[in-house]
Amino acid sequence: MDTTEKEAILNTYQWIKVPRYKDDPNLNWEERFKNLQEHHIQETQFLINKVRELVLLNK
């Protein structure tokens, strides 16, 4: 991992490759909540995979 990537991880959110959640007020609350949950799962999976990648780099 180069210095630029380390700095981005430490100081920004740009390195997170999951698009920012966008609420759709035209949907009912159940659909909006379902979309939010799905986004949360995508983001969590990305972050867990990144932690695993970092651990493997430092073995």
Is 25 a member of any domain?
A: no
Residue 58 belongs to domain spanning: 30-59
Give residue 26's pLDDT. 98
pLDDT one digit per residue (tens) for the chain, 59 residues = 889 989 999 999 999 999 999 999 999 999 999 999 999 999 999 999 999 999 999 88
Calpha distance 54→34 (Å, rounded): 30
Residue 49 domain flag? yes
Distance CA 22, CA 10 (A): 25
Rounded Cα gap, residues 22 and 55, in angstroms = 31
Q: Note the maximum CA span of the chain.
A: 48
Q: Considering its fold, how many domains does the chain have in total?
A: 1
pLDDT of residue 58: 87
Confidence at residue 53, expressed as pLDDT on a 0 to 100 scale: 94
The two structure tokens encoding residue 35 = 């979309």
Which pLDDT belongs to residue 1? Answer: 83
- What is the reported pLDDT for 36? 98
